[in-house]
Amino acid sequence: MSVKWQELYSARARGMKTSEIRELLKLASKQDIISFAGGLPDPALFPLAHFQEVTDFVLEQKGKKALQYSETEGLGELRELLAERSRADDIPCDAENIIITSASQQGLDLAAKVLLDAGDTCLLEAPSYLGAIQAFNAYQGRPVGIPLDDEGLRVDLLETKLRELRAEAIRPKFLYVVPNFQNPSGVTLSMERRQRLVEIAARWDLLIIEDDPYGALRFSGKPLPSLKALDPDNRVIYLRTFSKTLAPGIRLGWIIADKPFVRQIAIAKQATDLCTPALTQHIAYEFCRRGYLEEYVARVREEYQRKCQCMLAAMDEFFPAAVHWPKPTGGMFVWATAPAYLDTVEMFPRAREAKVAYVIGSVFYADGSGRNAMRLNFSLPTLEQIPQGIERLGSLLRAEIASHEGVVTLEPTRVH
């Protein structure tokens, strides 16, 4: 008699859903498909020689310690280094404000575990990072989206939503926001809105989870201070990661927060994995100590700028005028919005036939809206693939729009 697993799962587990991105990527996995669907760094840029050098050093000089369990909070010298660098970015911080996580996704999971009870409301951008939506749903939170525009989160609409929730006697546990080159939209929260957001959070006693995986990948414009640097009350929980600035395979991130919250996260982490792997922490520390990180990130920024400019130029040339997108100044993504009648979910099989892939917009909305949008990644495809794939996608979009408007063909006419 086979086990009836579904009857044994917890209510939390029964509510979990597979990632639609992963399912779509399975459909787009053929080698002849040009994919803009991933959110992956360019592996051709990985600093393999430096990794080899540093790893050999760690194993030769620190092998017994690096292969042992480490403290739950993380390697002391790595936390000290990260604290020093945070202070250089105007974030008051010492090692006790930091806990090392298995990348920032674990940081999201642990924050949700510590803060959310079933049914609790949490706020996030609309659209927002899919991994955050999944983490909050996994702990049976109730995510509520606040719209974005080209300057980031609409803080005016945030305050309106807070008033509406207060009238219903609902206090949201936190606001989740990605201020720099947001995933999926690519937009950056303006300085004025950053300041206003911190003021609103103080006035409404609202926690902010600030996720900053892409901030170091700015390739034009002036860097803006983090919300954490603008936060006088320790109400910002700041998530960082090495996944986009070093390599996702080392699975390292960190949380900077008020010390009582860090202690609670450590308790939750003990039940999750005891500690983050010491080996990769030692490697990351040595990589940073030798100055290799800055050298690598500078190269990544330069290459991503070329790829982004290539994609934007191709979109100008091949996309129909009815499709719109903001122009990112960093990060890894461009967000394209088609007319409301076009459904990128329904269109995806035809994109596969055209040998091009994207991520459907609806997965980035807690309520499943955004079906007329798509996320395009420029970091992974090559400079040769980008214009080819955009031309394929542009032809498909023109055909889809024409079929709805009853037009034989629509040629691209936009000049940005």
Domain boundary among 290, 307, 336: 290
What mean pLDDT, rounded, does the chain reach? 94
Same domain flag for 132 and 248 = yes
In the prediction, which pLDDT does 20 show? 61
Q: Confidence class of residue 31 from pLDDT cuts 50, 70 and 90?
A: confident
Say yes or no to pLDDT of 411 above 50.
Answer: no
Q: Domain ends where: 243, 261, 290?
A: 290
Q: Do 72 and 188 reside in the same domain of the chain?
A: yes
Domain that holds residue 79: 48-290
What's the pLDDT score for residue 26? Answer: 62
- Residues 246, 389 within the same domain: no
* Euclidean distance between CA atoms 71 and 289, whole angstroms: 20
Same domain, 319 and 227: no
pLDDT tens digit sequence for 301-325: 999 999 999 999 999 999 999 999 9
Q: Which pLDDT belongs to residue 372?
A: 97
Write the pLDDT tens digit of every residue in 332-380: 999 999 999 999 999 999 999 999 999 999 999 999 999 999 999 999 9
Percentage of the residues of the chain whose pLDDT score is greater than 90: 89
The structural domain count of the chain equals 2
- Say if residue 119 is in the same domain as residue 147: yes
Q: Could you tell me if 90 and 225 are in contact, meaning their C-beta atoms sit under 8 angstroms apart? A: yes
Query: Which of 290, 308, 342 is the last residue in one of the domains?
Result: 290
Looking at this protein, which amino acid is placed at residue 256? I
Could you tell me the pLDDT band of residue 5, with boundaries at 50, 70 and 90? confident
Let me know: does 105 contact 129? Beta carbons within 8 Å.
no
Contacts of 403 (CB under 8 A, 6+ apart): none
How far CA 158 is from CA of 68, 144, 193, 201, in Å, comes to: 46, 10, 11, 10
The string of pLDDT tens digits covering residues 168-188 is: 999 999 999 999 999 999 999
Q: Are residues 375 and 262 part of one domain?
A: no
Residue 360: inside a domain, yes or no?
Answer: yes
